[in-house]
């Protein structure tokens, strides 16, 4: 990446050619319309079921098909553009097993290319749990090679989530341990109940965080705090997580056990009115910029900014300001 940026920053490289090189992948993900095909089915209440489950409703499945462990819901009306990823592996507390991993990867891949999606909220339908981490019962049956391949799949999933072009929010209403916290760390923003418990506890099991946690946690809370949390396997509640910057917002848990989700939905509604292309380019600029030196980061910012200049949304934003009215962004 550094070598590439060095070449791009040279005097013989035009800004438009640089833009094409650095943003080719983002451009294809962000602005290619996706047709809603027959594999997707809308059930009652606006819930959208994905083709991987072959299910007509959550918790029901055809003979021989895997049970639905990850589902998706598109909100409607004023919340149109917000999508919820629903983790619903009730019997295993959303533990990261083969079926869960496969369904989540396919769903994330589908959402990644959907230009209609503006914000994604990851939440659990299992009371008291966000995600309990790796499925240790499945892992116990794997040999060394199989275990390595499976963890590589988990790491790939977290990278997929982190690479989603639109803003993502994790709503932590219960335990988020090991791989569960790694999933939340792959999201852009996190809300949690004060009663939630979060931690990378792998060292207490003879392991280390292997799905990106050893890299993402230091980038979120700082290297010394990350080392303390990982070396000790310590769990922290919502208040401590908020103070150290692990989460963005913390709330008191409610009687229905979904306070963090409700706060995540409020946050999603704050993001929803903003220009979709600008949001995606801002995310791209920040995510890529923090990985390089400041000079290269400024070049990335310039290229991302250049991508929003010709958009209709930018023109609408300027017109709305002059006319003193709310903007109506279309993502074009």
Q: What is the DSSP string of 96-159?
A: B-HHHHHHHHHHHHHHHT-TT--EEEEEE-STTEEE--B-HHHHHT--HHHHHHHHHHHHHHHH
Euclidean distance between the first and the last CA atom of the chain, given in angstroms as a whole number: 29
The catalytic residues are 134, 179, 182, 202
Please give the Cα distance from 87 to 68 (Å, whole number).
9
- Residue 64, pLDDT score: 62
For residue 92 the two structure tokens come to 């295993």
Token pair 């939905």 in the structure block, residue: 265
- Residue 165, pLDDT score: 97
Q: Are 123 and 84 in contact (CB under 8 A)?
A: yes
- Residue 164, pLDDT score: 98
Q: Which of 297, 299, 304, 312 is nearest to 279 (CA)?
A: 304
- Which residues, 6+ apart, have CB-to-CB distance to 8 below 8 Å? 18, 21, 22, 299
User: Across the beta sheet with 168-172, what order do the strands follow?
Assistant: 41-42, 47-49, 70-74, 82-87, 119-124, 168-172, 189-193, 249-251
User: How many residues are there in the chain?
Assistant: 332
* Pairing, β 82-87 against β 249-251: unpaired
Write the class of the CATH domain 34-271.
alpha beta
Q: Where are the chain's structural domains? A: 2-29+277-323, 34-271
Long-range interactions of 105-108: CB distance < 8 A, separation 24+: 105/153, 105/156, 105/157, 105/160, 106/50, 106/52, 107/50, 107/52, 107/70, 107/72, 108/157, 108/160, 108/161, 108/164
Averaged pLDDT, groups of 10, the chain, 332 residues long: 42 40 42 36 37 36 74 97 97 95 97 96 97 91 94 97 98 97 98 98 95 97 98 98 98 97 98 97 97 97 97 94 94 92
- In a 3-state reduction of DSSP, which class is residue 170? strand
Number of Cβ within a 10 Å radius of residue 235: 18
For residue 314 the two structure tokens come to 């930018």
What pTM was estimated for this model as a whole?
0.82
């Amino acid at each position: 990446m550094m070598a590439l940026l060095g070449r791009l920053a040279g005097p013989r490289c035009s800004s438009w050619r640089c833009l094409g090189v650095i943003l080719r992948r983002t451009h294809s993900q962000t602005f290619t319309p996706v047709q809603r095909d027959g594999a997707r089915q809308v059930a009652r209440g606006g819930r959208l079921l994905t083709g991987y489950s072959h299910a007509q409703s959550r918790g029901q499945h055809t003979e021989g098909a895997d049970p639905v462990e990850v589902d998706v819901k598109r909100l409607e009306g004023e919340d149109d553009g917000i999508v919820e990823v629903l983790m619903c592996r009730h019997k295993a507390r959303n533990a990261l097993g083969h079926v869960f991993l496969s369904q989540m990867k396919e769903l994330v891949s589908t959402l990644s290319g959907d230009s209609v999606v503006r914000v994604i909220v990851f939440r659990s339908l299992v009371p008291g749990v966000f995600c309990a981490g790796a499925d240790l019962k499945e892992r116990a049956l794997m040999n060394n090679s199989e275990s390595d391949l499976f963890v590589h799949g988990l790491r790939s999933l977290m990278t997929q989530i982190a690479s989603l072009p639109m803003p993502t929010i994790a709503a932590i209403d219960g335990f988020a341990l090991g791989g569960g916290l790694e999933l939340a760390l792959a999201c852009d923003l996190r809300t949690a109940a004060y009663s939630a418990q979060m931690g990378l506890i792998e060292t207490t099991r003879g392991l280390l965080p292997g799905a990106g946690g050893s890299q993402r946690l230091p980038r979120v809370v700082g290297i010394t705090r990350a080392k303390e949390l990982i070396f000790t396997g310590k769990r922290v509640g919502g208040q401590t997580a908020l103070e150290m910057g692990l989460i963005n917002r913390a709330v008191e848990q409610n009687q229905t056990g979904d306070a963090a989700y409700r706060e995540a939905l409020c946050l999603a509604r704050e993001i929803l009115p903003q220009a979709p292309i600008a949001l995606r380019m801002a995310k791209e600029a920040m995510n890529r910029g923090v990985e390089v030196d400041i000079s290269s980061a400024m070049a990335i910012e310039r290229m991302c900014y250049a991508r929003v200049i010709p958009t209709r949304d930018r023109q609408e934003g300027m017109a709305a300001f002059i006319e003193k009215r709310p903007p109506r962004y279309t993502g074009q």
